């Protein structure tokens, strides 16, 4: 199955709710009660169990659920040289509660040796069968770039990078190495998870980039770092991207339609497919999809992972038909709008409710596409 490529008609973004035993083991490891090897043994078993559940649910793509991570994006950054982190005191303010994710900043120039995510991928790759293919999710290069130029980090970043252009070059260079190492490990499906576009369209968000920041200039930098990282990728590797507005304990970070960034994002980012958040009015209409260029595919995130309530099938099908006015139906796909646990804490639903959501995605997709 390793020659199959994402997306699939019914798909998932990638993260799943962590089982209680895994959460307990991670807490015990942090407290020094168990060793790294003991934690890995618990992670391994949890991932094997999860993959079996994904197969049982009829999914064609398998992931490790991000079970070895604390967060969807920061752990990846910690795998690079020159990146430091510590437990946060304030967190990042989401709608309704702060996301208690580690403060992460630069302590040197960015380089990468043997990134741990490559080994994580190999473990899932070995669990493929004739019906499934493994996908590796990583934060988009733009996400890495944004993390290092937010006001809280900019002064430190400027000690090592006098300009954004230098920073972009090193981030992209590091990503190209990780992508090559993943490819050499057998990976043919990579997903860039990217909240930068969803944040950029939110009211007042340009201020996050510092005084005097310009919307168009920021857009071009996000586009540049993503495309530079993709440059030279092997022909038989698919790189897709997932765009959302934050997802922490069923809370969101930002709101805003795709319209202001549609042209660079959909028209000029060199990915093969977009997994897009469209589960509520915060994402706006489907009209910006008219900018999707070439034969790129669009995965409509119409099923929410933030709530256990099951969507009305007819409403979802009608929305797929609406989206097909802008992108042909044969290039449309269906998934939840995001993962179920972007961070360890997970969203406010049970595992049973999580799998009911995935069953609904499959049921609707089979009805629409056969």
**Tens-digit pLDDT profile for residues 49-102:** 999 999 999 999 999 999 999 999 999 999 999 999 998 766 555 455 455 578
pLDDT at 94: 47
pLDDT at 251: 57
Burial of 35 from C-beta contacts in 10 A (0-12 / 13-18 / 19+):
exposed
- Report the sign of the C-alpha dihedral through residues 32, 35, 39, 40, in that order: positive
pLDDT at 87: 87
Interatomic CA distance for residues 198 and 345, integer angstroms: 22
pLDDT at 279: 87
| Local structure of 23: helix, strand or coil | helix
Interatomic CA distance for residues 142 and 120, integer angstroms: 22
pLDDT at 204: 64
**Within a 10 A sphere around the Cβ of 126, how many other Cβ atoms?**
11
pLDDT at 203: 64
pLDDT at 210: 67
> Can you give the three-state secondary structure of 111-146, one letter per residue?
ECCCCHHHHHHHHHHCCCCCCCEECEEEECHHHHHH
Q: Give the closest residue to 76 by CA, choosing from 179, 162, 227, 157.
A: 179
How many residues are listed for the chain in this entry? 370
Ranges under pLDDT 50 in the chain? 94, 97
pLDDT at 276: 97
pLDDT at 31: 95
Residues 6+ apart with CB under 8 A from 165: none
pLDDT at 233: 97
pLDDT at 45: 98
pLDDT at 4: 87
pLDDT at 250: 59
177-200: burial string, b at 16+ Cβ within 10 Å, e else = bbbebbbebebbbbbbbbbbbbbb
Interatomic CA distance for residues 306 and 283, integer angstroms: 15
């Amino acid at each position: 199955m390793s020659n199959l490529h994402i997306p699939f008609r019914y798909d998932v973004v990638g993260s799943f709710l962590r089982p209680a035993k895994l959460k307990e083991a991670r807490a015990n490891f942090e407290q020094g009660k168990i060793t790294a090897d003991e934690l890995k043994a618990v992670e391994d078993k949890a991932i094997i169990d999860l993959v079996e559940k994904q197969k049982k649910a009829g999914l064609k793509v398998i992931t490790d659920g991000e079970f070895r991570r604390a967060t969807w994006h920061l752990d990846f950054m910690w795998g690079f040289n020159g990146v430091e982190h510590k437990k946060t005191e304030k967190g990042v303010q989401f709608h309704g509660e702060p996301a208690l994710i580690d403060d992460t900043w630069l302590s040197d120039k960015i380089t990468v040796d043997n990134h741990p995510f490559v080994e994580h991928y190999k473990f899932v790759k070995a669990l493929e069968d004739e019906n499934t293919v493994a996908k590796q999710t990583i934060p988009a290069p733009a996400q890495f770039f944004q993390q290092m130029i937010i006001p809280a980090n900019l002064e430190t970043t400027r000690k090592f990078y006098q300009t954004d252009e230098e920073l972009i070059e090193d981030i992209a260079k590091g990503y190209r190495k990780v992508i090559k190492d993943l490819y050499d490990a057998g990976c043919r499906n990579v997903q860039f998870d990217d909240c930068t576009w969803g944040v950029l369209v939110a009211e007042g968000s340009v201020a996050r980039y510092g005084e005097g920041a310009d919307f168009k200039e920021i857009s071009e930098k996000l586009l540049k770092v993503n495309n530079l990282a993709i440059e030279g990728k092997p022909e038989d590797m698919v790189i897709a991207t997932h765009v959302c507005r934050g997802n922490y304990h069923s809370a969101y970070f930002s709101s805003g339609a795709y319209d202001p960034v549609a042209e660079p994002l959909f028209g000029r980012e060199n990915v093969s497919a977009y997994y897009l958040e469209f589960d509520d009015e915060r994402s706006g209409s489907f009209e910006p999809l008219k900018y999707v260029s070439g034969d790129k595919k669009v995965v409509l995130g119409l099923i929410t992972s933030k709530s256990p309530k099951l969507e009305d099938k007819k409403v979802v099908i009608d929305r797929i038909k609406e989206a097909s006015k802008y992108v042909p139906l044969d290039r449309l796909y269906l998934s939840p709008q995001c993962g179920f646990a972007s961070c360890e804490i997970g969203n406010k639903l049970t595992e049973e409710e999580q799998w009911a959501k995935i069953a609904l995605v499959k049921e609707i997709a089979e009805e629409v596409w056969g």
